[in-house]
Structure 1
Amino acid sequence: MTEPVLSVRDLAVRIGRKEIVRRVSMTVEREQTLGIVGESGSGKSMTALAATGLLDAPGATVSGSSVLAGEHELVGASARALRQVHGARIGFVFQDPGTSLNPLLTVERQITESLQAHRHQTRRQARVRALELLEAVSLTEPQDRLYSYPHQLSGGQRQRVMIAIALACDPELLIADEPTTALDVTTQAQIITLVRDLQRDFGTAVVWISHDLGVIGEVADTVTVLHGGTAVEQAPVDEVFAEPRAAYTRELLRARPVLGGDGPPAAATDSGTLLDVDGLDVRFPVTTPTGRSVVHAVKDLSFRIRRGHTLGLVGESGSGKSTVAAALTGLVSPDAGRALLDGTDVFRVRGSQRTSVRRRISVVMQDPFASLNPRMPVGTSIAEPLVVHRLAANRKAREARVGELLGAVGLAASFASRYPHELSGGQRQRVNIARALAVQPELLILDEATASLDVSVQAKVLDLLLELQRDLGLTYLFIGHDLAVIERLSHDVLVLRSGEAVEYRPAADLFAAPEHEYTRALLAAVPPDRLARA
């Protein structure tokens, strides 16, 4: 019998006095995918880093055993031994390719680096291999992309480059740490198919780390569920979905939004249109290697948002979703069109009228950590709009209002004294929602506001948004790429592609019978409900 590609026994990680990973054991066979799933802080990434000898945290101690191909002990291995293994026999694909790639090096140089170091290829040989790899990962115009820098590529293209780098030396093991979390559903489906094909062609074993059980259900053969650094369940993927044994696994499965679930509750009596956008057109001048050009980001777009309702705006990366939000909030100036908010054109207001209109529209961005000032207590961040718009008479009134806002999003008033790094991702996003509500807006724009959250935290934030809409009569523009989330919140849905509306209908009608082939493609790309099939 052949040895497992990776055999981990009683792996433990301690940082200071805190035990992060508790005696985790697992094996990965050749051509097999092991899925590691759990919430943020469960120890998923720490387990993979410690098992592969890549953990380099101050004060961290690793114990136990992790053996590669039955011959290389990775726990406690020397730096020299690990350098010979990393890149050559173990490849890594991390969540954010933007930070994983060197912004100063071309795609060609970043791929050929490991080939020259581990395979001792000449520059010419390495360049030929780099081109083969870009073709293998289905990157468009691979010859031209060799000379591109990371900032010139889309998120999906950067992730394909990361996979090409990871596979450059034909590794026995590929560690994929949340490789599709920030990608839209069609790009995610393409990456999943790509890894499957490469695994079949090269016989690579894969460890796929994710908080999304839907993705794990598509890629994994076996699943390890981590909670608080402990493996609470380990079984074949179909068994985990059909008969989960651990209560935590059942909680993760229940929290995952799936297509065909309950849509939003019926809105209050229709009291007319709050926002009427007509002919919105946005262009950006850009500089390319061949000279100046223009990107037509949004093309003659029209839509209405009914008061007290939610419009879901959905599409792939680059479809123009965030540009629409930027135009409505004054971050970009449209080239044409109008947006009437109760009869006032938000694109053309000036002076004090502009301040008044901007108060009526608030926004919650995707990254809850980057949206908050790390040097400010969250109470100060929430109070900031109250100061700017003079909505509280004095400091005592501001503190009272901050307490009310924290209570509205399900947080205790004591959270006002905490800093962002002291909060979980879900708590930080609740703070961002509280800050957005401070000005008592009529329209709340949520730009991928739950995309970076764990499924259980996401479910709680979605329930919170529905509760706030019901209690406060809020109107939402919800921007996202997860159609299951869009279905959960939206009364109407607008599907964007390359800046153009391809389908705009009531949500129930669109999800029951999508008319446009692009909408059908988006729906087909959503990971299936494995509970129903298992």
Structure 2
Amino acid sequence: MSDPVLSVADLRVRIGSREIVRGISFDVAREQTLGIVGESGSGKSMTVLAATGLLDAPGAKVTGTSTLAGPSGGTALVDASARLLRTVHGGRIGFVFQDPGTSLNPLLTLERQITESLETHRHSTRRQARTRALELLEAVGLPDPESRLHAYPHQLSGGQKQRVMVAIAMACDPELLIADEPTTALDVTTQAQIIELVRTLQRDFGTAVVWISHDLGVIGQVADEVTVLREGQAVEQAAIGSVFDRPQHEYTRELLAARPIVGRPGPQPAPADAEVLLEVNGLDVRFDVTTPVGKSTVHAVRDLSFAIRRGATLGLVGESGSGKSTVAGALVGLIRPEAGTATLDGTDVLGVRGPERKMLRRRISLVFQDPFSSLNPRARVGDAIGEPLSVHRLTKGRQARRARIAELLEVVGLPTSFAERYPHELSGGERQRISIARALAGEPDLVILDEATASLDVSVQARILDLLTSLQRDLGLTFLFIAHDLAIVQQMSHDVLVMRDGRAVEYRPATELFATPEQEYTRALLAAVPPERPRVTT
């Protein structure tokens, strides 16, 4: 192996009296990818931020060494001056972060955001920088790159924004690329495209890559070497093949076991004579949008029909923009459809008004993807769970309300003391359990789970899926399970509806669909799920 591009030794980060990162060491060489994996809070991002001089936490103390290869012994990044770091960041080190929506400047065109680093670090002229920006947008596969130069971030999809972030990161041909959870918020097909894009650029430019993720399945597709972190410590460091075949630490084995994998058995099909709870026919949703060339209409859902049997789960799957969340919004009254009908146990869902509408809203609950933004940060957990109890007058008196809140917390596996906490005092998995408890407070007939596990660590995700399965079994719940990951859908669903561009592509019992997918699009979604074996086995 060639000399390391980045060499980190005995890196430690202390904030106050607490040591967040504990003596981590690693090297990454040219054309090599180092995967850093662990749950939220394990110290992954903190380690890389400290190693590259980007850590700016109040009271943080960083010790150890981090050296970027170069002449005269290389560049020391720990305790480097702000002036030195400005010459390194963007020029010699590129960064791709998890959320491109917050990483991109909403006020600048894509051209300006790419050319900025070229003019700063390579002293390119405006014309040279523009030519290079166009080449980069073509290289990352952005459609119609010439016109996209003048576009703003809000005019792109999530996957397109992340491609632009990769273009910005690679603009100055950096020696090192830091990819911090770059595919976590993306659907599986876009995730596969971004992974392949980074691998291609790495091969073309010889870049060293540090790829951070909570998912060993993703790491298996990109990394040559792996460092597994837990509570700020490296519990295992080895080649990717060794980690998958012979994991040495129990925590590594837990992460491997928690990965969603296509092929694991799911629930058996619902009985053919089971009662239909929700029936949707001919649902059609359109949106009027304003574009740079004038107003246009987006046909989000097109003549969609499906049914969910009582006590069963329908998996609604497709890429971002396929119309999945639009269906959920129409069923809970957040979106008014153009046409179609929907009935819940014989009750009109789309046209109900007045007191009946309030009763219907109690019978259909919705759990969103991001539990932090869906919970009021100023309200205690008990108040968040108790709000549906008060609105629908399901309990009499304060004592009965507290008892019901405590019961709901126990149902989702949390101690009753959590009622006094605020959302920011909880982990992501705990917040999602609170969201589920709130959804169950109204004793609903149907629970809509809109990407309810997409933002969680795979280990936390596995626990939430187990919780949902047990709740369905114990309480007889009916789920509309919206996701982009067919491995999770297979684990949860009795029936599966695959959507693309607002249309139903394939709608069959889950066991049949996964055994013999009929449509090419379904097969493409299945192929995009990270396989059980790593791509690199050396």
SS for the counterpart of 2:53 is coil
Map of 1:415-494 to 2, 5 A cutoff?
415-494=418-497
Partner of 1:47: 47
Query: Closer, same or farther in 2 for the Cα pair 1:411/1:267, shift >3 Å?
Result: farther
Distance 2:132 2:536 in 1: 41
Q: Report deviation, 1:122.
A: 1.2
Q: Report deviation, 1:321.
A: 0.3
Partner of 2:330: 327
Counterpart check, 1:137 vs 2:140: yes
User: What's the CA shift string for 1:5-46, capped at 9, x where partnerless?
Assistant: 000000000111111100000000100000000000000000
Partner of 1:393: 396
Partner of 2:179: 176
TM-score (norm 1): 0.99
SS for the counterpart of 1:530 is coil
Distance 1:307 1:533 in 2: 44
Q: Report deviation, 1:271.
A: 3.0
Partner of 1:28: 28
User: What's the CA shift string for 1:265-286, capped at 9, x where partnerless?
Assistant: 6657953100000000000000
SS for the counterpart of 1:57 is coil
Counterpart check, 1:384 vs 2:384: no
Q: Quick one: which of 208, 211, 215 aligns to 2:218?
A: 215
Query: Closer, same or farther in 2 for the Cα pair 1:169/1:204, shift >3 Å?
Result: same
Judge conservation of contact 2:389–2:442 (CA < 8 Å) in 1.
Answer: yes
Counterpart check, 1:67 vs 2:67: yes
User: What's the CA shift string for 1:461-482, capped at 9, x where partnerless?
Assistant: 0000000000000000000011
User: What's the CA shift string for 1:368-390, capped at 9, x where partnerless?
Assistant: 11111111111000001111111
Distance 1:427 1:414 in 2: 13
Judge conservation of contact 2:228–2:234 (CA < 8 Å) in 1.
Answer: yes
SS for the counterpart of 2:4 is coil
Partner of 2:409: 406
Partner of 1:9: 9
Tell me, which stretches of 5 or more residues in structure 2 are unaligned? Answer: none
Distance 1:522 1:412 in 2: 39
User: What's the CA shift string for 1:153-204, capped at 9, x where partnerless?
Assistant: 0000000000000000000000000000010010000000000000000000
Map of 1:272-291 to 2, 5 A cutoff?
272-291=275-294
User: What's the CA shift string for 1:359-414, capped at 9, x where partnerless?
Assistant: 10000000011111111111000001111111111111111110000000000111
Distance 2:263 2:3 in 1: 43
Map of 1:250-399 to 2, 5 A cutoff?
250-264=253-267, 270-399=273-402
Partner of 2:38: 38
Map of 1:84-99 to 2, 5 A cutoff?
84-99=87-102
Distance 2:42 2:389 in 1: 37
Partner of 2:524: 521
SS for the counterpart of 1:298 is strand
Distance 1:66 1:178 in 2: 21
Q: Report deviation, 1:484.
A: 0.7
Letter in 2 for 1:411: L
Q: Report deviation, 1:495.
A: 0.2
Partner of 2:86: 83
Judge conservation of contact 1:39–1:211 (CA < 8 Å) in 2.
Answer: yes
Distance 1:83 1:436 in 2: 48
Tell me, which stretches of 5 or more residues in structure 1 are unaligned? Answer: none
Query: Closer, same or farther in 2 for the Cα pair 1:266/1:532, shift >3 Å?
Result: farther
Distance 1:63 1:261 in 2: 45
Counterpart check, 1:106 vs 2:130: no
TM-score (norm 2): 0.98
Q: Report deviation, 1:264.
A: 2.5
Distance 1:461 1:533 in 2: 30
Query: Closer, same or farther in 2 for the Cα pair 1:516/1:2, shift >3 Å?
Result: closer
Letter in 2 for 1:308: G
SS for the counterpart of 2:142 is coil
Distance 2:505 2:101 in 1: 30
Judge conservation of contact 1:493–1:510 (CA < 8 Å) in 2.
Answer: yes
SS for the counterpart of 2:374 is coil
User: What's the CA shift string for 1:189-246, capped at 9, x where partnerless?
Assistant: 0000000000000000000000011100000000000000000000000000000000
Judge conservation of contact 1:171–1:204 (CA < 8 Å) in 2.
Answer: yes
Distance 2:241 2:433 in 1: 34
Letter in 2 for 1:240: V
Letter in 1 for 2:338: D
Distance 1:246 1:531 in 2: 18
Partner of 1:496: 499
Distance 2:496 2:271 in 1: 18
Judge conservation of contact 1:242–1:531 (CA < 8 Å) in 2.
Answer: no
Distance 1:243 1:107 in 2: 45
Partner of 1:122: 125
Structure 1 runs (4+) deviating above 2 angstroms are: 264-271, 531-534
Judge conservation of contact 2:188–2:319 (CA < 8 Å) in 1.
Answer: yes
SS for the counterpart of 1:476 is strand
Distance 2:317 2:38 in 1: 27
Q: Report deviation, 1:348.
A: 0.3
Q: Report deviation, 1:533.
A: 9.9
Judge conservation of contact 2:223–2:536 (CA < 8 Å) in 1.
Answer: no
Letter in 2 for 1:232: V
Distance 2:176 2:471 in 1: 46
Counterpart check, 1:238 vs 2:241: yes
Distance 1:265 1:24 in 2: 46
SS for the counterpart of 2:373 is coil
Judge conservation of contact 2:177–2:209 (CA < 8 Å) in 1.
Answer: yes
Distance 2:506 2:536 in 1: 30
Q: Quick one: which of 187, 194, 197 aligns to 1:194?
A: 197
Deviates more, 1:2-11 or 1:241-250: 2-11
Judge conservation of contact 1:378–1:419 (CA < 8 Å) in 2.
Answer: yes
Task: Give the percent of matched residue pairs that are identical in Structure 1 and Structure 2.
Answer: 74
Judge conservation of contact 2:366–2:439 (CA < 8 Å) in 1.
Answer: yes
Aligned length: 534
